[in-house]
Copies of this chain bind each other. A is one copy, B any other.
Amino acid sequence: MAGAVFAEEHRVLYYEADITGKLTTANILNLAILASGDQSETLGVGNAEIHAQNIGWVILQYNIDITRRPSVGEQIVIKTQADHYNPYFAVRNFWLETSQGEKLVDIRAIFTMIDMEARKMVRIPQVMMEAYQADKVKKIERIPNPMQLAETELPEVMHNFYHVRFFDIDHNHHVNNAHYFTWMQDPLGAEFLTQNEVVNINIKYESEIRYGSEINSYYKILPAVDGIVTTLHQIRVDNELMTEAEMKWRAVTD
Task: Using CB atoms and an 8 Å cutoff, list the residues of chain A in contact with chain B.
Answer: 13-15, 17-21, 24, 26-27, 30, 33-34, 37, 72, 165-167, 169-171, 173, 176, 178, 182, 185-186, 188-190, 193, 211-212
Contacts and interface: CB of A to CB of B under 8 A. Distances in A.
B190 A18 contact: no
A201 to B, nearest CB: 15
A173 B15 contact: no
B170 A185 contact: no
A94 B169 CA distance: 27
Most chain B CB within 10 A, of A20, A170, A176, A212, is at: A170
A212 B189 CA distance: 9
Nearest to A160: B163
A142 B26 CA distance: 38
29 contacts: A13-B34, A14-B30, A14-B34, A14-B170, A15-B27, A15-B30, A15-B33, A15-B170, A15-B176, A18-B167, A18-B169, A18-B170, A18-B171, A19-B166, A19-B169, A19-B173, A24-B167, A26-B167, A72-B171, A165-B182, A165-B186, A166-B185, A166-B186, A166-B188, A166-B189, A166-B193, A169-B190, A190-B211, A190-B212
Given A37-B14, A166-B189, A171 B24 contact: no
Contact of A167 (B21, B166, B169, B182): B182
Contacts of A176: 15
A176 B140 CA distance: 42
Contacts of A15: 27, 30, 33-34, 170, 176, 178
Contact of A17 (B13, B21, B171, B211): B171
A9 to B, nearest CB: 11
A171 to B, nearest CB: 4
A18 B166 contact: yes
A45 to B, nearest CB: 16
